[in-house]
Amino acid sequence: MPLLETKSVKKVFRTEEVETWALNDVTLEVNEGEFVAIMGPSGCGKSTLLNILGLLDNPTEGTYTLAGTDVSKMTEDQRTEIRKGLLGFVFQSFNLIEELNVQENIELPLLYMGVAPAERHKRAKEMMARMGISHRAGHFPNQLSGGQQQRVAIARAVISNPKLILADEPTGNLDSTNGKEVMSLLTELWQQGTTVVMVTHSQRDASYASRIINLYDGRVVEQTIL
């Protein structure tokens, strides 16, 4: 059984004057343990698809099944509940919370999962050690470099041991050295059994994946197994 499966998913954005079809009849499957890269030109619907896959948005039409559950018509609360512990997110712009320090940012998913403080701190420390940012535990995001911020973001994404990591242009704001490090981390996680779905512009980053899905004008136009 695939980990996630979309059938004829459509997403339309309407304004008073214009109706934009961001996704048009997208059908795809991602199995457990896959590393999938979604590519395509700007405006082709990559981020929209990732938001739907990450339960940050609902499709206008079609069905979306995640871990065997149809999640396409769920409420915000239900989606939040499903996300907990199942999904981890990595964003291009890191999206760390400015008011929280490194350790608190990493602990955030555990906090909302109700993990006891001692266990939370222990796991956060292990994760920081793994990412090589232990010395920055008490620092706030604006005191970190871009690479460090993205490592914190990845640490936060994986601390709850999610089955699926959704990464939106994870190296987009990084230089090549830091970008390479981030891709190595994601590959390491994939090799340990975590499913990764990544949106990227970069052919080099996509080369880390096991499958590439190409989108054009909101449709899947090509799938390549590497």
Partner 1 sequence: MKRSLLAHYLTVAIRSLERYKTQSIISIAGLAVGFVCLALSSVWIRYENTFDNFHPGADRMYMVWDKGLDLGRANLGTVAPRALNSLAIALREEWPEVECATMIDAETNDEKSGWKVPFTMIGADTAFVRVFSLKPIEGELATISYKLSEFNFIVTDEYARKRFGEGSPIGKAFNAFRMPSGDTDAITEAPVKGVVKAWHHSSFAFDALILEDGGAENSKFAPDGGFSMVVIRLRKGASADELERKLNAIDMGTKRIGEISLVPISQAHRLLADIRLHKDNLSYRHLRYFQLVSVLLVVCVFINFLVLFLIRVRGRQREMALRMVHGAKPRMLLAQFVVELSVTLGAALGLGLVMTFVVKDVFAAYAGIDLEGGYILGSALLFMAIIAAVCLLIATVSVEIVRRNTIRHSLMPGGGRRNNTFTKVCTGIQLAVSLALICCSAFMLKQLWFMKNTDWGYGIKGRMHFEALATRNDIVPDAPEWGGHFPFPPEWKESVLRRLNQLPYVSKAAEIGEDPIGLYGHRAGGMTWTMLPGIVDEGDNDKTYEYVRSRGFSVHTFYGFKDLRDPTLGITVLEGALPDPERWTNEVVITEKTRQQMGVEKAVGSDIMIAMDDFSNAPDGSLNIVRAPRHYVVAAVIKDLYLSSPSDEPYPCVLMKDGIRLGTDEMISVHFDPAHRADLAKELTAMFDEEPSLIYNTVWHEDEWAELMRSEQNLSRLLLVVSIVAVLVAVFGVYSIITLACRQRRKEIALRKIHGAKLRDILSMFIKEYGLILLAGAFVAFTVSYIVMHGWLEQYIKRTPLSLWVFVAILVATALLIALCVGSRVWRTARENPADVIKSE
Map residues 136-155 to x or -, x wherever contact with partner 1 holds by CB under 8 A: --------------------
Which residues from 204-223 bind partner 1, rule CB under 8 A?
none
d(CA 113, CA 204): 35
129 binds partner 1 (CB under 8 A): no
**Nearer to partner 1 among residue 33 and residue 67 (C-beta):** 67
Residue with tokens 């089955």: 163
CA max distance for the chain? 54
For residue 12, give the amino acid letter.
V
**Nearer to partner 1 among residue 101 and residue 178 (C-beta):** 101
103 binds partner 1 (CB under 8 A): no
Q: Which stretch binds partner 1 (CB under 8 A): 103-111, 122-130, 182-190, 216-224?
A: 103-111
**Nearer to partner 1 among residue 109 and residue 179 (C-beta):** 109
19 binds partner 1 (CB under 8 A): no
102 binds partner 1 (CB under 8 A): no
Phi, psi of 81 (to 5 degrees): -65, -40
56 binds partner 1 (CB under 8 A): yes
Minimum CB distance to partner 1, residue 207 (Å): 25
Of 149, 146, 125, 150, whose CA–CA distance to 137 is shortest? 125
**Nearer to partner 1 among residue 43 and residue 221 (C-beta):** 43
Number of neighbours of residue 70 by Cβ within 10 angstroms: 12
d(CA 146, CA 140): 13
Q: Which stretch binds partner 1 (CB under 8 A): 37-45, 64-72, 77-85, 195-203?
A: 77-85
Q: Which DSSP helix (H) or strand (E) runs through 23?
A: strand 19-30
Q: How many helices (H) and strands (E) does the chain have?
A: 7, 10
Close Cβ partners of 222 (under 8 Å, ≥ 6 residues apart)? 212, 213, 214
117 binds partner 1 (CB under 8 A): yes
Q: Is 37 helix (H, G, I), strand (E, B) or coil?
A: strand
Site residues (vs partner 1, CB under 8 A): 47, 51, 54, 56-57, 76-77, 80-81, 83-84, 89, 91-93, 95-100, 104, 108-109, 111-114, 116-117, 120, 156, 160
